[in-house]
Amino acid sequence: MVAKIDGPRVAAKSRMTKQLVVFLHGYGADGNDLIAIAQQWQSFMPDATFVSPHAPEICAMAPDARQWFPLKFPVSEDDPASHWEGLNKARPVLDAFLDAELKRYGLTDANLLLVGFSQGTMLALHAGLRRAEAPAGILGYSGMLVGPEHLGTANARLANGQHPPILLVHGTQDDVVSAEAMFLAAGHLAEAGIPNQWHLSTGIGHGIDGGGLQHGLLFATQSLKIKRAAPAL
């Protein structure tokens, strides 16, 4: 039986949900870690409901926090095969949650934006690129692409037959997941014919700065086809 997940949410400011933004937190955090972004974005996305589910597993290194799957540190030296196994285990849980949330609001994947941080970015890329229908966009902060050799199974497509748009954002001083991971991901995606954009946040560690949030907001409104321009935060 697939585990059920849920977490904090911010309702559409307009009270009429037309888009769904799902935040996927990092290892050793929970859904509360990213939901504050919704309060910064919702004025520019008034018809969007934001939800940030807690990962299904108790974190091995922080019993009060959650994990999508086990990790070892530094992440760059962990076993890639275990990452792939963990993602394949977590994906059905996330897919079931996304399907239920979209049904709740009468939406389709064309109205869905996935936003990941660190381990959440790994899952956003893995699951988002393999949905039955592609999400409107995938935004990944401080993460990495797991299993580039498996990108042949990344079959999710938009209604126009294209891959979903992707934006990767990373800090130059990230000592948890090196910024090199962003460039490797961008390169592997491009080689597989999956277009993507990236933004490098100078002097930022394993976190998200104002510039990264601004780029993410612009990407979100463009991907979800929200016509109202998003000014600087």
Give catalytic residues, as residue numbers. Answer: 118, 174, 206
Sheet holding 19-24, edge to edge: 9-10, 48-51, 19-24, 112-117, 137-141, 166-171, 197-201
DSSP category for residue 203 = T
Alpha-carbon span 127 to 146, nearest angstrom = 11
Q: Which of 193, 216, 220, 227 is nearest to 143 (CA)?
A: 216
Alpha-carbon span 66 to 36, nearest angstrom = 18
Q: What are phi and psi of 64, to 5 degrees?
A: -90, 0
Helix (H, G, I), strand (E, B) or coil at 75: helix
